[in-house]
A and B are shown apart, each in its own frame.
Chain A
Amino acid sequence: MGDFGGRVSKQGVNVLTGADKDMLWTTKLRGLNIRAKGIANATSFNFAHGLGYKPAFAGYIKDATPTHFLNYHHAPFDGYQFENTTYGDIYTDGTNLHCECATANKLVYLCYLNPANGGSGATSPAASKDHGLRMSNDGVDVLTGEDGQMLIHSKYQSPLIILADAITVNVSAISADPGFTVRQSDFTDYTHGRAQANHIIMPDLYSSVMFAYSTEPSGLGPDYIVYDVEVSIDATKIRVRVSAVASSSFATISANAFTYSPKFFLTNIILPT
């Protein structure tokens, strides 16, 4: 049976037969759209998103450089030589995207148009006569569907993946004798070639054992080695830092050197400064 809609394949892929994952976009699948982005200019801050549902979002901690740190929410287990020591909270409800941080002008938010719960949404930010382009997903009326149901909507920017690669950090060997705690930190800088810091996606950062949370049950014995990772992006580079702490009470504990290579996907969405 034939299918209807539109799809654009990446170079080298047959648009008629290629898999969905090889499409640049397809009306079969929903995309992401940015509703708004900004900086929380108060320790307790609300952005009234006007959507009537709880939107998806992303966040960063920003310093004065400005450098944007991907982990905005969790202090590391140890974080030796980490460049950021401030953390906060971001959440959404049906009215606001809310930021909480002990220091103002640190939390950066990206508020998506898309509902976090995957639903169709309740309202569009501004219902009025308008010009532009909208393309709906399969099953959604392009004339009456909510903005959050659109695949493409010229009123909103969609994240495009403009650069994808991996950054390799050579993590040094570490060793601690009984009664000693040893710390070390290694990092690698990757020149991204943009004129500013853009929104970056790094799922490897959070799904690896390299991300140790200070509030997690550690299950650590008297002798342990823990690694923490800090990732930041500024106007010229992406920095991946791996810090380690080795602590020994009874027996020498050591770990060999290894390489850590998280993958990243840099988007076209400029981060607020």
Chain B
Amino acid sequence: MTATVNPLDSFRVTTILVVHDGATWLPETVASLASQTRPAQQIIAVDTGSLDLSSKLLKGARIPSLSMARTTGFGEAVSTAVASLPPIIDGAREWLWIMHDDCAPQPGALEALLTAVVDRPSVVVAGPKLLGWHDRSHLLEVGVSIATNGARWTGLEPDEYDQGQHDGVKEVLAVSTAGALIRRDVYEELGGFDNNLALFRDDVDFGWRVRVAGHSVICVSDAVAFHAQAAANERRSVDVAGAFLHRPHLLDRRNSAYVLLANASWWLLPLLTLQIASSVLVRALGYLFAKLPGYAADEILAIGALFIHPGEFIQARRDRRKKRMITSRVVRQFIPSGIQQLRTNISRAYESLRENILREKVEDAPIADHISDDEDLLTPLKPLQWRSLFLRPHVIAALSIALFTLLWSRNRFGTIEGGALATAPQSATELWRQYVASWHPVGMGTTSSMPVWTLLIALGSLMVLGNVHLFITLFFLVAPALFMWSSYYLLKKLTSHVTLALFLAGIYAISPVSLSAINQGRIGTIVVLALAPLSLRIALAWREIEHASWQRIYRFALLFSLMTAFSFPFWVMLLLFSFYGFGFNYAEFHRTRQKSLLLQRTYRRAALLFIPLLLNFPYSFEAFTKPSRFLLEPGLALTGGRWIEIFFGNPGGTGSLPLWVLSPAIVVLYVAFFSVTRAREISEYSIALLLLTVVVGSFAITGNGSTAPVRIWTGTPLAFVTLGAMCAAAVMLDQVRERLVSTHINYRHISVATLALVTTLYIATSIGWIFTSGANSPVQTHQTRVVPEFLGIDPLEKTLVLRQRGTGSDVSLAFYVARGRDITLGEADIAPLTDPVIDQAARELVDGSGLQSSVVFAQHGVKNIFLKNPAPRSIARIIDGVGGFTRTSATNAGIVWKVTAPTGRLIFTNTAGVQQLIALENSTGQLPSAGILTLTENYHPGWQVLQSGVQLEKKMNKFGVIEFKVPQAGEFVLVHDGKAHRGLISLQLIFVVTVLILALPSGRRRRELRDEEIA
């Protein structure tokens, strides 16, 4: 009889259990060690100053233990335990099984590990498959590595379920120290764990060193251990030396960078440093957005802590060089590539978004009573009914709106402009440049801030690679569908009838205000129409606003800011609505005396009211000095409709529906006023808003670069009135059929019949109008340029453009100073009114009395007069006769006169009074002698001329332009100082980021996560 020799018997294994406040997990750990199928020869525990019951538990388990200071690091603790062991006997296969106090190996773990290494002499480290402590099907690690940005890399999905997909024995860079089986001689040869890594990442570092020493590391999936990761999950304090502020995250980040910098090849260090620094910034930003400033600070401090002690990793590199037996390239296969990291990050981001935004409803799976295969076979196969697909209300609605839009927009396929919509610049970069510029060459020039909506358009156009033309065209094309979708989103909450909600959403999409806004290029009203349904969700809870969380308040504040950016009239409405809310709350306070409730409500309302102003800063604050901005929408100021049009829900103006196309919205409101449902309350608010709008629409204002008064455009309030009508209809008509069927003919039948008739008539007439004259809107493609190309050779050259509009008795003549081109988006909003002196000169030019007109124009740098065709010949004859102008061309575009006197942007007058033009190249020019340099721009203190580094003295001359006193000949630099403007933009950015962070979902610290959520 021959005795079978178990090869595992030749192994001498010492378990080293490191304990630190681990009483929670220690009993199970000890029990699991005791129940190993192939137990270790001995167990040594190292207690690093536990304050809980850990030491008692160890004694109770009769495990010999070493006590160490509380600040002792993990590696030092293990080394102390190893040092306490007797020396290695030659030829003995002595191994160390490193164990954490929060790690419980399965009974066969050690046996499996030993089995794996027995036939692999090159393997000196083997680790188990680590599963979650609480969720024991949750895979934590099957080996571990490090990404080039310092992230701990396991190659697993978040919360990956263990189905054996990673089973087997695999070569890895490193394994966790929890359950790692290490050959003692190699451990001692390499000097154990790096004491600079008191906690975290010591495992990866050790694995890396093992690898470059020419050994192997494996993960054995047959060996399974459950790990609570108590320190990383902030389940216990981190007290090791060097753990600044006892923050595990900080220590982890610091150590990850240390591992990379200490082990990587020297030529990779610059790139690694860059990657570490950039990833720190990104992560810190991410943590800030997740409202975890502590973690964000950890990221920054970790790098700081490492780099203020460069000697540590320099020494570490020296030490490693001594032990390195093979090239560092051997670890490359275990370091994830950039593509791999990117793919994983995208996948995680997508999953996160899906989880938070597109959360799937979890429905109980139907439970079949019994499954019969035979029954399955007997069931006849039903062919897919494609026809039924097209009978679904959503499909019909989508197809209808698409067809409607295509036919209506037949003149808007391409670059669109006209009406209130100015020409879009070629790229988003130009819009961005305009936004940050401190000086805008519009008219005689202005320092006014660009409205925020131009920046939003620039950001939006990034979706189409920065092509602003394409973005605006697409935006106008999809606008009706957006109106329909967003209003359906609201209406479906008010009615159980999908078809009714879709039908009303369709009416909203083709309402008079929608049609007018698109036809006239009112981009502000279009945005309001699209977002109004979303904003009404907070209005539904306006009175008891204290129920809304602050995060929700900030989200709505962001939404309101967006709407305010596109429509200041919206903010005026918000102001009125807030006053109403304040009044209501105060009345309730008067009754109940609940001060805290009043304050809660007041703070929330104030946030909703003032955050839009802050986020639209500095443009919004300028509005307080130009109050007409509060009543004007983006773009050119076109006149709105008459009071009768507004009363019927039609904002009027060129390109709007004729008055005889009556909107059903107003009929709905007046019918709903007598309803017994909640529609009545909605109609009361809507009618009040409508009547207020009618009054406001009776007034005329000037602004947006025009002295011609225009009737106030009421698109924004009418959008809400129309939406209110649709909401009232949804509530009123929900279940109406059942009520009508069950009653005799009464006023309800008549009301519903009237509504049906008016709605049918509206649909028929409005669609008829759209398909005929409605498509010939002011906003179209293929509009001819106003300012001819040849006047735009010098982009800053000024040309006074005279243009006649209208026919017959309704003729108006207008002028403006052009800078070589038509205006672009946003410029109308900041266009300054022309100087009264220029106004006078232009008037005298046209009435023939302007003998001094050419002098005035020359003093303001206006080089040309352009009379745009079609123009009355009488005006041409008058200009011909006035003198001071030389006709230089007459083309189909119009007639151009050159101002006879020499003029330009910079006019130099020497001491003898002789004038000459000064050319600029890259803001630099040459002055011939002492004298006066006139910059023919509107006066602003920001303009500076620097000569030999000295600012020249400046003043405003009698024509309102800038004069610099030139002391001597020489080179000069002309600049506009935009520091203050850039400061304001930075402040705005801070406001935006702050509110954005506050509005985003909050992240949680790991200690705030429940055990079940961790693993």
Chains A and B come from one and the same complex: no
Q: Residues of B with Cβ closer than 8 Å to A? A: none
